[in-house]
Amino acid sequence: MGRFIYGAAADSVEIDDRTLAHLRIVVMNKLRRGEPFMFDTRLGEGIGRRSFWLSPSIPIQFHFSGGRAPRINRAWLDELMKAASGPNGLTVMPEPPDPSEMPAADA
């Protein structure tokens, strides 16, 4: 289980490494373009939600517990990027099947 840390270390949320790797790419691309946005995430089971206004002026850390970078699902990355650019901001959604991992159809 990794950790998304925003500003002060007290402002952090546990997120599994696979999801965190995808979020890192989305956040990096949005902020690199100078596009601040809202990130909304759940805080464990039944604990609540937390929203972060992500801006380049506030330090962000992505702490991964594992040593290897997970394989990136391009379809999930596209959905997360679309959400981050939408009116409700970025919310973690279930990972869709990765088209590059689907078996080829027999001809």
Element (H, E) at 81: helix 74-85
Cα distance between residue 77 and residue 67, in whole Å: 21
Asked if the structure places residue 53 within a domain, the reply is yes
- Segment 32-56, tens digit of pLDDT: 999 999 999 877 667 788 889 999 9
Asked if the structure places residue 58 within a domain, the reply is yes
pTM: 0.85
For residues 6-21, average pLDDT = 85
Asked if the structure places residue 104 within a domain, the reply is no
Check residue 90 and give its pLDDT.
95
- Match 């929203």 to its residue by tokens: 51
Asked if the structure places residue 74 within a domain, the reply is yes
Residue 65 near residue 16, CB atoms below 8 Å = no
Count the domains in the chain: 1
Please determine, for residue 19, whether its predicted confidence score (pLDDT) is greater than 70.
yes
Please name the residues in contact with 12: beta carbons below 8 A apart, sequence gap of 6 or more.
Answer: 3, 4, 5, 6
Asked if the structure places residue 101 within a domain, the reply is no
- Segment 47-93, tens digit of pLDDT: 788 889 999 988 999 999 988 888 899 999 999 999 999 999 999 99
What is the domain range of residue 91?
Answer: 2-95
Asked if the structure places residue 107 within a domain, the reply is no
